[in-house]
Amino acid sequence: MKAVPLKLEDSLYQEVEALSKALQTPRNRYINKAVEHYNRMIKRELLAKQLAEESLSCREESMKILSEFEQADDYRD
């Protein structure tokens, strides 16, 4: 396990202390769980952004292909 120096605002520290005591969880474990939760949230946001970008890229390509099909249909008529 790695040690990471951490400076918290006084109000945030007090909140962490109060909540970790209320949950009867060591402060270190409470902060670890908070960081794990935040990492999951950020990964989901990044994945959603990537999906949106790839979807847009795919949509543009699909519109080109659709246009080509429409032109082919017009040509046959």
pLDDT tens by residue, 45-71: 999 999 998 888 888 788 888 888 888
Angstrom distance (rounded) from CA 36 to CA 77: 61
**pLDDT at residue 73 above 80?**
no
Confidence at 16, pLDDT banded by 50, 70, 90: very high
- Cα 46 to the chain's mean position, in Å? 4
If you average pLDDT over every residue of the chain, what do you get? 91
Mean of pLDDT values over 7-21: 97
The closest alpha carbon to 8, from 36, 46, 34, belongs to 34
13 vs 64, residue with greater confidence: 13
The closest alpha carbon to 7, from 70, 49, 19, 16, belongs to 16
